Structure 1
Amino acid sequence: MANFHDTPSTPSPPQRTPGTGERRLAALLARADIALNGSRPFDLQLHRPGAAARILAQGSLGLGEAYMDGDWDCEQLDGLIQRLLAARLQNAVHPPVLALARLRARLFNLQSRARAWVVGRAHYDLGNDFFAAMLGESMAYSCAYWADADTLDAAQNAKLELVCQKLGLRPGMRLLDIGCGWGSLLRHAAEHHGVQCVGLTISRAQAEWTQQRCQGLPVTVKLADYRSFEVAPGARFDRVASIGMFEHVGNKNYPAFFDVARRALKPDGLMLLHTIGKTRHHEATDPWIDRYIFPNGQLPTLGQITDCVDAAWVTEDVHNFGADYDRTLLAWHAQFRQHWPRFAARYGDRFRRMWRYYLLSCAGAFRARAVQLWQVVLSPTGVPGGYRRPLS
């Protein structure tokens, strides 16, 4: 029998000394209680040392692209992003790409009529079957309302009903939905409230889906940018809604957006705006989100909204339930992960990593309260006696 102590030992490979980029990245992450190659689920596991310099040089764009390329991983990606944003580490990195993004937004109208169609082709036209697998029965691609709901479908139905209640929809009314998506609000309002609906979208796939799904209902869908939509004075709408579309309007176009809505609405009507928003005016659109998910997007501040409406509208109600978006995004990710095998061959693994990063990083951002979700109810001249928000 061989003696263990006589068995030649294999020398351990020499420990690699971390480079300057890794040391700098580790020190930065430590400020958010994140360890480089640590053992906790939200710690960042670095696979390629060169990615550290890439992340430090390019900020959020480098972080997202390096993840897509498999340069790093994290078991709890949403927890990692939550900690990064809560510690405001984005302010510690100043990549040139971020300064360029701010300059472009100041100099150019990135959401012009010609550019408005880009996000439809790049994002919303990816495949109706893909979005149906992720979004569920409602096909609502906006924040759900989880106050009394336990499932995604129930929470989305609760959000749609909340919108209808806030608008006070009644049978025979006419509703305009600016940015109708896959028609979730149109269908709900027509089926449950007897409302005649018109929806606008810049996505051909969304228009086709909505027209098919709403057959037999008093629903019309128009493939049109909101700026090209004209309403005759005698055909104005009782109510106007915009759910999750305002993020594509851009601050240079806010006056035009609200002017279109105002001209479409009867003098005694109501409008509901449902939008993601940012808390700090100076923060630019995330370069990674702009490049890979929502090109030419821009989040508003609440102040920008109120500045645009104070001359021609009365702000009746403001409701923030942005924390519900965290849970919504996690539910979407769970369904995306469940159904991914159906789409793997079509989209490939880099898309899988991109979509995982998108959903979970956004969940972390809402959990950190770095971004918000507002529902704002407006009226042209003020509701007589005052507006009362329905119990929710």
Structure 2
Amino acid sequence: MTSEPHLGPVALPDTRARHTVEKLLDGSGVTLNGSSPQDIQVYHPDFFSRVLRQGTLGLGESYMDGWWECKRIDEMAHLMLRHGLGEHAKSRSERLKYRLQSGLVNLQSRARAYIVGEAHYDLGNDLFQRMLDETMCYSCGYWKNANNLHEAQVAKLDLACRKLDLRPGMRVLDIGCGWGSFAEHAARHYGVEVTGITISREQAELARQRCEGLPVEILLEDYRDLEGSFDRIVSIGMFEHVGHRNYATYFDTVQRLLAKDGLFVLHTIGSNTSDIGADPWIHRYIFPNGILPSIRHIADASEGKLLMEDWQNFGADYDRTLMAWLANFDAHWHEIADRYNERTRRMFRYYLSVCAGAFRARDLQLWQVVYSHRRDGRYDAPR
């Protein structure tokens, strides 16, 4: 297999597999070897059988291997999903394999909690520093009044701070603090003390550097091991790694740690259905053991523990965020190309593009949910 560039499509045999793929794409707006940016340029004769056999795993791996190209993978994914190819693209064996795994094993147990940190977040701070903006936010920006990525990320951080009604001197817990973006913003602009936890050593190291001199403590720790009491709790882009078998434990932990007059903001990608599953390619190459919650998952796990005060969806903003990350990634790749291989470059381009397409098709959502213990009076959520 190779990742070397090709000059153009190769001559392909008229096979049954190709006809099947063409039939699936018929009416989607995506064609094979066409002239539109969303069209797939096929370079390898086994592409069709591989995709039919392996579904999204085969589609993603074959792109990493240089078997096909597309100028606008984001739009290709958007059109294919809007055409209803999402379920067709997941092979039956891969769906069954994940359901069996998640049914028999807690894929997000304490012992396995650090796997995603080691596999993805520890890949290299230099890569993420070039892909993200100065805040180092690795979650959806809030584009309501923003003109660029940095403004959108600052707006997202400030939106969470305002929803938490932060006051100077408060103790705040950041579950899944990443590179310290929220901790730095909240401590600097709202005068609060922040404890941030992450399961990534690379994130923890850089977060401590970014928050130096501020009342911020960064811990390499699993959320289930935390003790203490906090006036406010926030979790931005971490709940996707909790897993359905641990949702109840997660909300039990938040309930235990949150002060009686406290507020909790949960910021998470969400699924339109409550099916237990994960995209096989994303599961293998980007976020091992990750799973997206549904509205029902979150509601069932939090019921009787916390009071839901507000639920906001700005999932459409993730499309713009991902495309901005992709533009940054492409613009700065040459600065780190000697430290990574071409397959890694194609992996990240594919990941950012197909996720943008999924949010554009509204197959994925982004929720900010505000919880409290039972408070007196009315809660008005900022927007």
Q: Same fold (TM over 0.5)?
A: yes
- For residues 348 and 263 of structure 1, the distance between their equivalents in structure 2, rounded to whole angstroms, comes to 45
| Corresponding residue number in structure 2 for 1:36 | 32
Would you say 1:386 and 2:375 are equivalent positions?
Answer: no
- The aligned residue for residue 166 of structure 1 is 163
Of 79, 88, 94, the match for 2:75? 79
Larger deviation: 280-289 or 351-360?
280-289
Shift of 1:217: 0.4
Conservation of the 8 A alpha-carbon contact between 2:43 and 2:67: yes
Report if aligned partners of 1:57, 1:95 keep a CA contact under 8 Å in 2: no
In the alignment, structure 1 residue 304 sits paired with structure 2 residue 294: no
Alignment length, in residue pairs? 373
Distance 2:20 2:12 in 1: 16
AA at the equivalent of 2:97: L
DSSP 3-state at the match of 2:249? helix
Q: CA deviation at 1:16?
A: 5.5
Aligned to 2:127: 130
- RMSD over equivalenced CA pairs, Å: 1.3
8 Å CA contact 2:13, 2:45 repeated in 1:
no
**CA displacement at 1:95 relative to structure 2:** 3.4
- Could you say which residue in structure 1 is the equivalent of 2:319? 326
CA contact (8 A) 1:289 1:295 kept: yes
Q: C-alpha offsets along residues 290-338 of structure 1, whole Å, 9 cap, x if unaligned? A: 1000001010001100111111111000000000000000000000001
Query: Identity of paired residues, percent?
Result: 53
Contact 1:178 1:240 in 2 (8 A): yes
Q: Secondary structure at the match of 1:114?
A: helix
Q: CA deviation at 1:129?
A: 1.8
Q: Which runs of 5 or more structure 2 residues have no equivalent in the other structure?
A: 1-10
2:193 is aligned with 1:193: no
Instruction: Kindly report structure 1 stretches of 4+ aligned residues shifted beyond 3 Å.
Output: none
**Is 1:223 equivalent to 2:220 in the alignment?**
yes
Given that residues 202 and 223 in structure 1 are in contact (C-alpha distance below 8 angstroms), is that contact kept between their aligned partners in structure 2?
yes
**2:55 is paired with a residue of what secondary structure?**
helix
Aligned equivalents of 2:179, 2:295: Cα separation in 1? 26
- Calculate the TM-score normalised by the size of structure 1: 0.93
Q: Which residue of 2 aligns with 1:350?
A: 343
Structure 1 letter corresponding to 2:266: L
Structure 2 Cα separation of the partners of residues 91 and 149 of structure 1: 34
Picking from 140, 143, 158, the partner of 1:143 is 140
3-state SS of paired residue (2:86): helix
Secondary structure of the corresponding residue to residue 203 of structure 2? helix
Give yes or no for the alignment of 1:269 onto 2:265: no
For residues 108 and 86 of structure 1, the distance between their equivalents in structure 2, rounded to whole angstroms, comes to 33
Q: Which residue of 1 aligns with 2:361?
A: 368
SS at match of 1:140: coil
Normalising by structure 2, we get a TM-score of 0.95
Tell me the distance in 1 between the aligned counterparts of 2:69 and 2:34.
11
Equivalent residue in structure 1 for 2:18, among 2, 7, 22:
22
- Provide the secondary structure at the position in 2 that maps to 1:369: coil
Q: Is the 8 A contact 1:318 1:375 kept in 2?
A: yes
How far does the alpha carbon of each residue in 1:243-278 deviate from its partner, in whole angstroms, 9 at most, with x for none?
Answer: 000000001001111111111110010000000010
